[in-house]
A and B are shown apart, each in its own frame.
Chain A
Amino acid sequence: MTDVPHVPVARRLLANRLFLATCVFCTGLAVCVLAVLIVSIMIDGVHRLSPDFIANFASRKPDQAGIRAPLVGSIWVCTICALTALPVGVGTAIFLEEFAKRGRLTEFIRINISNLSGVPSIVYGIIGLTAFSRFFGWRAGAEPIELGSPDSLLYLRLPFGSSVLAGGLTLALVVLPIVIVASQEAIRAVPNSLRQGALALGSTRWQMVSRLTLPASLPMVMTGAILAMSRAIGEAAPILVLGAPLMVLETPANLMSEFTVLPMQIFNWAERSKASFQEIAAAAIIVQLAVLMSFNALAILVRQRLQTPLQ
């Protein structure tokens, strides 16, 4: 250790203090950015918030425009996304953690999932457009096949086109890696002794998973699921590629309805230079952030309510 240069104690203490100051400065800067973000959006948009703004459809006149269609559209898309991404994601996590033997296939699936989580959401948009909206060009140019009646909720038209179902499935692709990774972590956190106990009593793997591991990891799985859904509800790029119309004047009636989502509406309004459109964009952002905050609060609540210590 002879090559370590001797630094006087006073200088080292000074470096210590300077570094702490840098730390506080950087952290303060990050907090300030958040404060400026929230305050500036509040100033721009809060006076535009009214019951009418929630209840009205989009309009060319900013004073009469509202967010009814995008708000309901977001709920539809998010529900479809949750109904598809959650079972598939949690199922994948269960398979990888509880059933799969260590081998080439599972290793490949693991690497593949981490790569999928790095794929930009707009690329998922292109895949969703090709796979769900156009069925890879199947029956391009021909009339779509209709299944069921348009009055029913489950009316289907093949291929799906720019429908709310195509939107939900595309977002499911975006959040699937997030759901899988979060559920894997949750399942891994269950103590191994519980598994060994169940197996020793003669339960099969699925009995062990369904009656023990899954209930025990449920709070963490749900927290991850809620955070994944808050990511889905904020995504605009994939919906943009699918081709949500600029102005939607009705709420979805069935899975094949046209739709738009809140982030898309914000994008459309923010793009316009007129000040009044900027203001309603800010107002829509306030609604969007309020929805996200309630998602976050729900996640915290779930974590606290359901968490039973397992040791």
Chain B
Amino acid sequence: MATSAVAAPTSAARGTPIPRSSRDRSERVVKSVLLSFSLLSIVTTFSIVVVLGIEAWEFFTGFPDKPGIGLVPFLTGTEWSPLLGGEQKFGVLPLICGTLLVTVIAGAFALPIGLVTAIFLSEYAPSRLRLVLKSALEVLAGVPTVVYGFFALAVITPALQRFSDAFGTWNALSAGLAVGIMILPIVCSLSEDALRAVPQSLRDGSSALGGTKFDTSVKVVLPAALSGIMASFLLALTRAIGETMIVALAAGSLAQITMNPSNQVQTMTGWIVAIFTGDAQANSVEYASSYAVAATLFLMTLALTLAGTAILKRFREEYE
């Protein structure tokens, strides 16, 4: 590592024209500037937690002029109807259900296809084909998500409507498939990295014992790379949960608990978009609800990222 001490600067300073004290001083200045840059990332996390925490706390426990919603009714409520006339209801479960439905559809599409494509790229494809396919995936990875949202509305939904009349202009399946296309390159390239990190000797051993390419890839290489692949899945699902522009365009705006992919759903991110593009007052209950929803979203993605890091750590120990 870089921290290995090779030469003590004491003896080296004698040969340089710059006096040691001034060199040491500029060294200290540079180091503290770089340290402060690194601390900015901690400040960012800290402000995420504080900003979301304070606003969500107010939403749960009460505003100066109105009562709060309460943490338990928020987390267990099955109705989300903040904008309709009459009684406002803030149960987050319909939004979580919408997010999960879209994420499950995206995962069901992208995880198997991405993994099989990764196996193909790493184990089967000749190097020139691999290069072409990798650059195609790189293009796919660079496409802004709003473009996938447009694609869902303009291509996927009309195609679905040809199969069945049940699909409206907005539906969970169309948004889910578009999110799936978005996360496909992530699954693919990260899984491929994990597969290629498996030592060649394992493959050679399997072939020497008479294993076919299929035996080698699926029964030897795949299990050896499993933790890296799981980490890539978790990362892709984290992106799917937090995806905003696709669901804002294609999923709809009706928060409901449903597992029917032809229904329209509202996701957590979809609600935040609805608040910030609508004309909610900056100190209203529904405005504050977006912070509570964002805090829920942040905790969900944080849990997934931590799980991914933990899995990867095990993976690293196996090979070093």
User: Is the CB–CB distance between A119 and B41 below 8 Å?
Assistant: no
Question: Interface extent on B, as a size class?
Answer: 35 or more
A139 interface hit (Cβ, 8 Å): no
Contact of B273 among A122, A201, A202, A206 (CB under 8 A): A122
Judging by beta carbons under 8 Å apart, are A240 and B154 in contact? no
* Residues of A in contact, count (CB < 8 Å): 97
Interface segment, one of B61-69, B241-249, B256-264: B241-249
Shortest Cβ-Cβ A-B pairs, 5 listed = A202-B12, A120-B242, A234-B144, A118-B305, A23-B120
Q: A34-B140, A37-B151, A116-B44 are in contact. Are A234 and B214 (CB under 8 A)?
A: no
In the assembled complex, A258 has its CB within 8 A of some CB on chain B: no
4 further contact pairs, Cβ within 8 A, besides A37-B155, A231-B142:
A202-B16, A237-B145, A263-B146, A270-B249
- Is B3's CB under 8 angstroms from A201's CB? no
What is the CA–CA distance of A12 and B215 in the complex, to the nearest angstrom?
8
Question: What mask results when residues 22 to 46 of chain B are scored 1 for a CB within 8 Å of chain A, else 0?
Answer: 0110110011011101111110110
Set of chain A residues within 8 Å of B302, measured between Cβ atoms:
115, 118-119
Interface residue ranges, B against A (CB under 8 Å): 1-4, 6-7, 9, 11-13, 15-16, 23-24, 26-27, 30-31, 33-35, 37-42, 44-45, 47-48, 51-52, 112-114, 116-117, 119-121, 124-125, 133, 136-140, 142-147, 149-151, 153-155, 169, 181, 184, 188, 212-215, 217-218, 235, 238, 241-245, 248-249, 269, 272-273, 276-277, 290-291, 294, 297-298, 301-302, 304-306, 308-309
Within the complex, what minimum Cβ distance (angstroms) separates B163 from chain A? 16
Q: Give the dominant DSSP class at A's interface.
A: helix
Are B142 and A234 within 8 A (Cβ)?
A: yes
B117 touches A288 (CB 8 A): no
What are 28 A-B residue pairs whose CB atoms fall within 8 Å in the complex?
A: A12-B214, A37-B143, A37-B147, A44-B154, A92-B34, A108-B42, A109-B39, A115-B305, A117-B305, A122-B244, A122-B273, A126-B52, A126-B272, A127-B51, A136-B51, A176-B41, A192-B2, A196-B6, A199-B7, A200-B6, A202-B15, A236-B145, A237-B244, A241-B276, A266-B147, A270-B153, A271-B249, A292-B142
Complex Cα spacing A109 to B44, Å: 11
